[in-house]
Structure 1
Amino acid sequence: MKKARDVREQLEGLCERVEVDPTVSSPEDIESILKAITAGFFYNTARLGKSGDYETVKQRRTVYIHPSSVLAKEEPLPAWVCYFELAFTSKEYMRQVAPIQPKWLIEIAPHFYQESDVEDAKTKKMPKNKNRR
């Protein structure tokens, strides 16, 4: 909780410095919060493949949602996620994972993502539920 309070105080200070009214945002506006997270970690994205495993978008590496994550138990799994870090153990696990929309990537980071990076999400069928590791 101390870390969360410290981060909040930092954000309040940044808002004051750039003259952003901190009362404008709403905690109920989940999409804006997820977009903000995506803007900060746009490089760390993965999509659910046909096999039921996640694959990083640019490097095409197989990764898994960390078992301690709330999203690891989500049914159905989110098609696209943004993560804070990868933990290397017996597998490569994504930690601090949030569901995202692929169109946000083009909107937020057009210098990094092109339409071809996200278009297959619209045309491919989602995999059936698979036992996760």
Structure 2
Amino acid sequence: MRQARDVREQLEGLMERIGVDLASCESDNILIRKAITAGYFYHTSRLTRGGYKTVKHQQTVYVHPNSCLFEEQPRWLIYHELVFTTKEFMRQIIEIDSGWLLEVAPHYYKSKDLEDASSKKMPKKVGKAREELG
């Protein structure tokens, strides 16, 4: 608890120094999750078949089994660290909304980076039929 108090005091001091008013989020954790997204936007992963993939580098990663989100499998996550044991696991994760990434990091993400490929359907007629080739 002492460390939590020290961190709070540091944050209060920084906010006072730059002139930001201290205000409560009134149990609206979306504001907190957006703030974390702004700081860790480059640690984003998207749910795919067979696990998660990091958005920019398409690295396959998994939710750590000790995570409270292990069973839930949210569509979008921000992680603090990756730990490699039997697989590459994400630790200290939160669920986010993909729209927040364009809001907090438009210099890093473009809307095409955040499109959900699993919702796209393949066209009914792909390529030419065998009869058309011969």
TM (normalized to structure 1)?
0.82
Moved over 4 A (4+): none
CA distance in 2, matches of 1:2, 1:73: 32
Give, as a single letter, the amino acid of the residue that structure 2 aligns with 1:81: L
Corresponding residue for residue 67 of structure 1: 65
**Number of equivalences:** 121
1:41, CA displacement in angstroms? Answer: 0.2
3-state DSSP of counterpart to 1:71: coil
Bigger CA radius of gyration: 2
Give, as a single letter, the amino acid of the residue that structure 2 aligns with 1:72: F
Higher relative contact order (CA 8 A, sep 6+): 1
TM (normalized to structure 2)?
0.82
Partners of 1:102 and 1:121 within 8 A in 2:
no
1:36-115 matched pairs, under 5 angstroms: 36-49=35-48, 51-74=49-72, 77-115=73-111
The Cα offsets for residues 2-55 of structure 1, whole Å up to 9 and x where unpaired, read as 433332222111111112121x23241111100000000000000000x14111
3-state DSSP of counterpart to 2:10: helix
